[in-house]
Amino acid sequence: MEKYVIEGGNPLVGEVEIGGAKNAALAILAASIMTDETVTIENVPDVRDTNVMMQAMESIGANIIKVDRHTFKINGARIHNQVILNEGIKKIRASYYLIGALLGKYKNAEVPLPGGCNLGTRAIDQHIKGFRSLGATVNVRHGSVIAHAQNLKGSHIFMDKVSVGATINVIMAAVMAEGKTVIENAAKEPHVVDLANFLNSMGANIKGAGTDVIRISGVPKLHKSEYAIIPDQIEAGTYLMAAAATQGDITVRNVIPKHLECIYAKLSEIGCRVEESDDAVRVIATGRLGNTQVKTLPYPGFPTDMQPQMTVTLGISQGISIVTESIFDNRFKYVDELARMGSDIKVEGNTAIITGVERYTGAEIDAPDLRAGAALVIAALSAEGRSVVTDIQYIQRGYEDFHLKLQKLGGNIRLVDEPEETDLFYRDPAFSVVVS
Q: According to the binding rule CB under 6 A, does residue 93 interact with ligand UD1?
A: yes
Quote the least distance from Cβ 419 to ligand UD1, whole Å.
29
Q: According to the binding rule CB under 6 A, does residue 125 interact with ligand UD1?
A: yes
Task: Give the residue with the Cβ less far from ligand UD1, 398 or 411.
Answer: 398
Task: Give the residue with the Cβ less far from ligand UD1, 93 or 386.
Answer: 93
Quote the least distance from Cβ 21 to ligand UD1, whole Å.
9
Q: According to the binding rule CB under 6 A, does residue 126 interact with ligand UD1?
A: yes
Q: According to the binding rule CB under 6 A, does residue 272 interact with ligand UD1?
A: no
Q: According to the binding rule CB under 6 A, does residue 121 interact with ligand UD1?
A: yes
Quote the least distance from Cβ 187 to ligand UD1, whole Å.
6
Residue type at position 28: I
Q: According to the binding rule CB under 6 A, does residue 311 interact with ligand UD1?
A: no
Q: Which of residues 164-193 bind ligand UD1 (CB under 6 A)?
A: 164-166, 187
Q: According to the binding rule CB under 6 A, does residue 369 interact with ligand UD1?
A: no
Quote the least distance from Cβ 165 to ligand UD1, whole Å.
3
Q: According to the binding rule CB under 6 A, does residue 328 interact with ligand UD1?
A: yes
Instruction: Tell me the catalytic residues.
Output: 117
Q: Which of residues 148-167 bind ligand UD1 (CB under 6 A)?
A: 161, 163-166
- Number of residues located near ligand UD1, criterion CB under 6 A: 21
Q: According to the binding rule CB under 6 A, does residue 47 interact with ligand UD1?
A: no
Applying CB under 6 A, which residues contact ligand UD1? 23, 26, 93-94, 121-127, 161, 163-166, 187, 304-305, 327-328
